[in-house]
Structure 1
Amino acid sequence: MPVPEGRLVEDAADAWEAAQEIGLPVVVKPLDANHGRGVFADLKTRQDVETAYAGALAEGSGVMVERFIEGDEHRLLVVGGKLVAANRGDTARVVGDGRSSIRELIDLQINSDPRRGEEEGFPLETLLLEREPIAIHELQRQGYAPESVPPAGQEVLILRHGNMAFDVTDEVHPEVAAAAIQAARVVGLDIAGIDLVTRDVSRPLSETRGAIVEVNAGPSLLMHLKPAVGKPRPAGQAIVDHLFAAGDDGRIPIVGVLGRREPALLARLVGHLLRLSGRSVGLACGEGLFLDQRQLAARPCQHFDGGQRLLINREIEAAVIETSARAILAEGLPYDRCQVGVLTDADPDPALAEFYIDSPERLHAVLRTQVDVVLAQGAAVLNACEPAVAAMAGLCDGEVILFARDADAAPLEPHLEQGGRAVFVRNGAIVLAAAGNEEPLARASRFALTGAAATPAQLEAVLAAVAAAWALDVPVDLIPAGIEHFEQERAAAARATDAMGA
C-alpha cells in the first residue's frame, strides 16, 4: 500500500535522527490519537521536530515520525468493500488588516462562519487556539503569536489540515478508491475511514506521490452526511444496508423457555435439535451455559446475565434461553423479542411472595410476558392441558402451537379446526397435527423420556421441544433421531459423573 516511510521514536533526539534518516520535511504525530490532534506537518528543522515531539506525545502514548506528503488531506469512507463517500480538508488561514490580532482575525474571518459551532450538528468546529497546539506551532514558525497584528494583506496560515467538510466523492479516481478499499481489507475492517494525502484525488496516487496516512476504525459520518460544501452522502444507509441484507432484520432465532416443569431438560433438548440441524447454538439454562457441545459455566444460568452472555457472542446462530418468573420480576428478559416462546405451566411459586405475586391473576400477569414477546413471524408453544396457559393463546402476535400429553385436551380440537398446529400423544404415538392432517412422529416408547418410566413433566418437556423445533423448521425426520442422540449423550454424561464420584 502507498504509505509514508516512518517509524516510532523514543525521545526528541531520536525523532530528529529519524527525520534525518527519512529525509526532510517530515511529519511528527501521535501513535494513537484522533481528530488530527498532535499532528505536526512539513517540519524542516531540528527545533521544529523536537518541539513537535513534545506536542505529539501529549496527545498519545507514543510518537511517530513520517515522510511529509505534499497535498490536501482526504477522508474516504469505505463500507463493505465499496467507496461510499469522500471528503477533502482545507487549510485555515486569515488575512491581516493591519489593526486586528491573529486571535481577533480568527473570530472575524473563521469562527464567524455560520457553519461553525461547538455542537455536533455543525459541519465545522469552532477554531480555538487554546485547544490547538498545532496552530500555535504554525504561528511560531511564521514568527507570530496569537496576539500579533499582521500587516494588511498578509496571509497567515493557522492550520495546515482541517475543515474536513468538502465533499469530493464524485472526483475520486478509481485507482484511489481501490487503494482505500484494499487498505480497509488489509487491516480487517468492513467499515473504515481512510485518511490519505494527495494533491489531486482525481489522479492516481502514483502520479501525485500521495499516500495513505491513517485507517480509522470509528470514522466520523457527519462530514459526509452534512458537508459544508457539496452533496450529502447516505453514509448511514450504506452501513445499514451492509450489515443487514434486504429483508433481513438482523435477528437470530431465540427460543425463550418459561415454566417450573423440567425447563432445563426442555431447553437442552431444543438446543440439541437446533444444533443437529446445522446451527451454532448458545444455551443458557438451569444446568449451565453452553456453546454447542462446550459447557462454559456449570452454575445455573436461567437469569438475565446468562442470556446476555450468549447474545453478545457473534458466533452463535440461534439461542435457547431459559428464564423464570422470579428472573422476569427481578431483572427482566435478556432479549426484547423471541422467535419461539415456550410456556409449560402456571404452577404457583412460593418464592414470588417477595414480589407480592400471591394469586393466579398476578402470576398470569408475569407469565404472559413470555407470550407477549413472541415476534409476529414467530410462535408461542403452549401447554393445552393447562387451561391458564392455553388461555394465553390470544395474547400472541404470531402463531400458536399447542402441545398436550393427552389428545383429548379441550383446546386442541377448536385450535386445529381453525388451522393451528399441535403436538400430542395419541394411541402411544407422538403426533404432529396441522391442517386436518395427523402425522405420527415416533412411538412414545421409543424414547426413555416419553416411555412408560417417564414422568408427566418429562413427557411434556419432550413434546414442547418437538413443537419448538417444528416451529423453527427443523426437518421433521431429524427430530426422532435427535431425541435419541440427546438421550444417549445424557446417559453418557451421567455415567461419567458417576464414575468421577466413585
Structure 2
Amino acid sequence: MVKLRPYEPVPAAIQQKPRFPFVTRVLLELFTAGELPNVREIDLEPDYGYVGRIVYHSGAVVLFRGARLHLNSLGASEIALDKGYTKYFLRQLGYHTPQGRVFLFPDYFQQIEKQAFQGDFQTFIDEVGAAIEQEIGFPCYLKPISKGQGEGVNRCARREDLAEIVGEYQSADYQLFLVEQAVNWPDYRVVVYKDEVVACYRRVPLTVQGDGVSPIRALLQRKQAEWLQLGRARRFDIEDSRIIRRLQRDQMSLETILPVGQLYQLHDVSNLCAGGEVEDYTERLHPYWRAFCVRLVADMGLRFCGVDLACADVERAETDYSILELNAVPGLSNYAASGERQARIVRSLYQRIFNEGDQG
C-alpha cells in the first residue's frame, strides 16, 4: 500500500500509473489538491489502484474497490444487479417495467429444482421461443441476469435468431437470462445521489456516418481513436457479434461503404461501453421525473444509483415510461469525458461522496 496525505506530492510509483480506474484518479486529484478536508489519509494499492482504504478525521474508515464505494447496502446492491429481482420489486412497488420473463438454462434448472430437464438444447430453444411468442412477442431483448455495461444484451428481431443468441449465452456459462418486450422510447440514464438527481443524459446507440470512401470497419476505427482522445474509459469491440448480426440483418458487412452523409446505427443497445453517445439532459429533465427517480431509488433501498429510464418525453410530466434497469455502481467516466461541464458535474459529485464518507 502507498499512504497518501493531503497537499503532499503524489509518489512517483503512483504518477507512473496513468491508467488507474477513473474513480481512483478522481479521488487522488481531489485529495492531493486539499479538496477533501474530512479525509485524513488514503492507503492505496499501488500496482493497479483498484482498491483503497480511506481514513477520516472522525476515525471512520471506508474501503473501496473500483467504482464500488460504501454508499449502498450489500443486499440492495445485489438486488439491483439482478435484473429479474429488480423487475419483481419495481412491479411490486407499482413502477412500469417492460413485460418480461426469466429463463434458467437446463443445467442450472437441474441444480435448483433437483430434477433433470426433459429434453435437449433445441427443446429448450423451442420452449423459450414459444413462450416469447405467447407472452412477450418479437422483437424482444435478451439480457444476462447479472451482467452490467450492456454485456450480452441482444435485440432478437425474430425467432430464427434465438438459437444463436442463447447459444452464445450457453458458451459464456450464463445461468439465467431475462427476455423483455422491446420498448421504443428514448433511453436515459438518471444518476441519483441521496435525495438529488445529479445528472441525466440520453444514451444514443453507436452510429457512424458514411463518407463514400471508407468501409464501416474504418469508420469504427476512426470513432475509437476519437474515444481515446476524449479520454473515454473503454473501447468497444468492432467484431462484436451483435454488430455483425445487425449488419447481416440489413445485408451489409464491416466492409460495406456507406454513401456520403448516410447515418447507420450499428448497435441495438445504447450503453456507453458499447459505443453509445451522450446527449446531456441534466438541465432539461422535468421536475416530475427528478422527484420520480429520487423516490424510486429510495424505494429500492439505494442511496447512489443510475436509473435507466425509457421515456416518451422527459421534458414533460407524466408521459409514458418504463424502467429498464437499475445500476447500483453507476460508471460515470464516459459521461465525464463528453464535455467540460459534464466533467465538473462528476468531479463535484465525487467530492461530495468522499467528503461525506464518514457520515454512514
Normalised by the length of structure 2, the TM-score is 0.58
SS in structure 2 of the partner of residue 196 of structure 1: strand
Q: CA deviation at 1:52?
A: 3.0
What do you get for the CA RMSD once the two structures are aligned? 3.0
The answer to whether the 8 Å contact 1:124/1:228 transfers is no
Change (3 A) 1:22 1:14: same
How far apart, in 1, do the equivalents of 2:178 and 2:340 lie?
A: 32
- Asked if 1:147 corresponds to 2:234, the answer is no
The answer to whether the 8 Å contact 1:3/1:212 transfers is yes
Runs (5+) with no aligned partner, structure 2: 1-94, 105-123
Change (3 A) 1:12 1:152: farther
Q: CA deviation at 1:60?
A: 4.2
Report the counterpart of residue 5 of structure 2 in structure 1: none
The Cα offsets for residues 395-439 of structure 1, whole Å up to 9 and x where unpaired, read as xxxxxxxxxxxxxxxxxxxxxxxxxxxxxxxxxxxxxxxxxxxxx
SS in structure 2 of the partner of residue 234 of structure 1: helix
Report the counterpart of residue 215 of structure 1 in structure 2: 326
The answer to whether the 8 Å contact 1:96/1:152 transfers is yes
How far apart, in 2, do the equivalents of 1:46 and 1:105 lie?
A: 31
Aligned length in residues: 240
The Cα offsets for residues 158-177 of structure 1, whole Å up to 9 and x where unpaired, read as 12314253321111122222
The answer to whether the 8 Å contact 1:189/1:217 transfers is yes
SS in structure 2 of the partner of residue 177 of structure 1: helix
What is the letter of the counterpart of residue 8 of structure 1? V
Report the counterpart of residue 135 of structure 1 in structure 2: 243
SS in structure 2 of the partner of residue 202 of structure 1: coil
Normalised by the length of structure 1, the TM-score is 0.43
Report the counterpart of residue 138 of structure 2 in structure 1: 24
Report the counterpart of residue 100 of structure 2 in structure 1: 6
Please give the residue correspondences for 1:163-174 in structure 2 after superposition, counting only pairs within 5 Å: 163-174=276-287
The Cα offsets for residues 380-407 of structure 1, whole Å up to 9 and x where unpaired, read as xxxxxxxxxxxxxxxxxxxxxxxxxxxx
The Cα offsets for residues 213-263 of structure 1, whole Å up to 9 and x where unpaired, read as 111111112244332486445345445536755xxx828xxxxxxxxxxxx
The Cα offsets for residues 466-492 of structure 1, whole Å up to 9 and x where unpaired, read as xxxxxxxxxxxxxxxxxxxxxxxxxxx
- Asked if 1:122 corresponds to 2:236, the answer is no
Q: CA deviation at 1:73?
A: 2.2
Report the counterpart of residue 157 of structure 1 in structure 2: 265
How far apart, in 1, do the equivalents of 2:292 and 2:167 lie?
A: 33
The answer to whether the 8 Å contact 1:165/1:229 transfers is no
Q: CA deviation at 1:202?
A: 1.6
- Asked if 1:103 corresponds to 2:103, the answer is no
How far apart, in 2, do the equivalents of 1:90 and 1:213 lie?
A: 15
The answer to whether the 8 Å contact 1:39/1:56 transfers is no
Q: CA deviation at 1:201?
A: 2.4
Runs (5+) with no aligned partner, structure 1: 252-313, 315-502
Q: CA deviation at 1:146?
A: 2.0
The answer to whether the 8 Å contact 1:88/1:168 transfers is yes
Report the counterpart of residue 68 of structure 1 in structure 2: 182
How far apart, in 2, do the equivalents of 1:75 and 1:211 lie?
A: 12
What is the letter of the counterpart of residue 304 of structure 2? I
How far apart, in 1, do the equivalents of 2:334 and 2:216 lie?
A: 27
Identical residues among aligned pairs (%): 25
Q: CA deviation at 1:5?
A: 1.3
Change (3 A) 1:149 1:214: same
How far apart, in 2, do the equivalents of 1:101 and 1:46 lie?
A: 30
The answer to whether the 8 Å contact 2:220/2:238 transfers is no
Change (3 A) 1:229 1:55: farther
The answer to whether the 8 Å contact 2:206/2:265 transfers is yes
Pairing partner for 1:186 from 285, 295, 299? 299
How far apart, in 2, do the equivalents of 1:141 and 1:229 lie?
A: 38
How far apart, in 1, do the equivalents of 2:221 and 2:353 lie?
A: 42
Q: CA deviation at 1:28?
A: 1.1
How far apart, in 2, do the equivalents of 1:244 and 1:95 lie?
A: 44
Change (3 A) 1:244 1:107: closer
How far apart, in 2, do the equivalents of 1:203 and 1:52 lie?
A: 37
Structure number with the bigger relative contact order (C-alpha 8 A, sep ≥ 6) is: 2
Larger Rg: 1
How far apart, in 1, do the equivalents of 2:246 and 2:327 lie?
A: 25
Q: CA deviation at 1:9?
A: 1.9
Q: CA deviation at 1:93?
A: 2.1
How far apart, in 2, do the equivalents of 1:180 and 1:25 lie?
A: 28
The Cα offsets for residues 157-197 of structure 1, whole Å up to 9 and x where unpaired, read as 21231425332111112222233223322321111111122
Report the counterpart of residue 421 of structure 1 in structure 2: none
How far apart, in 1, do the equivalents of 2:354 and 2:237 lie?
A: 38
Change (3 A) 1:233 1:85: farther
The answer to whether the 8 Å contact 2:206/2:277 transfers is no
Change (3 A) 1:233 1:72: farther
The answer to whether the 8 Å contact 1:80/1:242 transfers is no
The answer to whether the 8 Å contact 1:26/1:67 transfers is yes
SS in structure 2 of the partner of residue 84 of structure 1: strand
